[in-house]
Amino acid sequence: MSQLPQIQAPEHPQGSHEPSLSTWHDTRYRIMWYYMHATPRPCFTPGLLSELGSFRDDMAHRLDDPGDSGVDYMVLASKVPGIFNLGGDLSLFRTLVETGDREGLRTYAHACIDMLWTHISGIDGRDITTISLVQGDALGGGFEGAMSAHVLVAERSARLGLPEILFNLFPGMGAYSLLSRRLGPTRAERLILSGQVYTAEALHEMGVVDVLAEDGEGEKAVYDYVARENRARNGYRALRRARALSNPVTREELLGITEVWVDAALNLGERDLRMMQRLTNQQERRMLKAA
């Protein structure tokens, strides 16, 4: 077992915002770890989405360089204690809905799909296994982001759910596409419409969480999985390609559903927006508690 990751923040120009993403390359096991720590709330802020996009582009160039092929796995995790990611930037959503900014909502949704597509496609079909490590809460878009990886590892105390129905919306960045492949359409819709937060153990029993780890052992579970895949790497990856051919999630499908989401968001009423604001306040309190 290698020493667990010591993260490094990418350099930012003087005077720019604090980074929301840190990386660490485990050269021995050929794993690129990348950790979210967005502020002021642990959600998919525009800043975090921008950094995830830059990371994806850098990785694509790196993987295409025949002299620099030292990555077989990418692991998305979080450095916010008790929180993987709390989902969409609800404060931004409220502003965009109140001003009727359809293009702003669409731009945000497409940035989220770009992040999901990195995981789903292994960076546009490159020979990479993507893994999410959930230690803490993954709600809304955070749950969607976690599910988009080839392998979802979650610690036993983690909680995952889709609360969007509580403010009269639905999770429009991949939840239906991803859950319906794992659970079937009927069970996926029941989970989405429940607004319920589930334990990692319950989702493991359903087949949504792939690897259930004991608390504090998530990183070890990732390395154990990597060791298992490495023993039969050709078979694992061929099976993954077969699954993608048999029941594909396409970028076009994901983008099409975001259009439904944008239309639904613009139909929200004042009561819905007040609930959204309450959830935003909860996100901010969680961040203060975690700090």
- In the predicted model, residues of the chain with pLDDT beneath 70 are 1-17, 69, 290-291
Nearest to 84 by CA among 218, 192, 212, 278: 218
DSSP 44-104: B-HHHHHHHHHHHHHHHHHHH-TT----SEEEEEE-BTTEEE--B-HHHHHHHHHTT-HHH
pLDDT digits (tens, 9 = 90+) for 243-258: 999 999 999 999 999 9
Distance CA 258, CA 194 (A): 20
pLDDT value of position 17:
61
pLDDT value of position 51:
97
206 vs 164, 209, 210, 243, 248, CA distance in Å? Answer: 21, 8, 10, 19, 20
pLDDT value of position 8:
40
pLDDT value of position 69:
67
pTM assigned to the model: 0.92
Long-range contacts of 251-259 (CB under 8 A, 24+ apart): 251/113, 251/117, 251/121, 253/177, 254/113, 254/116, 254/117, 254/173, 254/174, 254/177, 255/110, 255/113, 257/172, 257/174, 257/176, 257/177, 258/106, 258/109, 258/110, 258/112, 258/113, 258/172, 258/173, 259/106
**Residue 196 — left, alpha, or beta (φ > 0 → left; ψ -120 to 50 → alpha)?**
beta
- Domain annotation for the chain: domains and CATH numbers: 21-218+235-290 (3.90.226.10)
Q: Edge-to-edge strand order for the sheet containing 151-155? A: 21-26, 31-36, 73-78, 129-134, 151-155, 211-213
Distance CA 111, CA 258 (A): 11
pLDDT value of position 281:
85
Q: Edge-to-edge strand order for the sheet containing 83-85? A: 83-85, 137-139, 159-161, 197-199
DSSP 146-175: HHTSSEEEEETT-EEE-GGGGGT---TTTH
pLDDT value of position 290:
66
pLDDT value of position 185:
97
Sorted by sequence, the CB contacts under 8 Å of residue 143 that are 6+ apart come out as: 87, 160, 161, 162, 171, 175
Distance CA 3, CA 208 (A): 29
pLDDT digits (tens, 9 = 90+) for 186-245: 999 999 999 999 999 999 999 999 999 999 999 999 999 999 999 999 999 999 999 999
Provide the residue type at 138 as one letter.
Answer: A
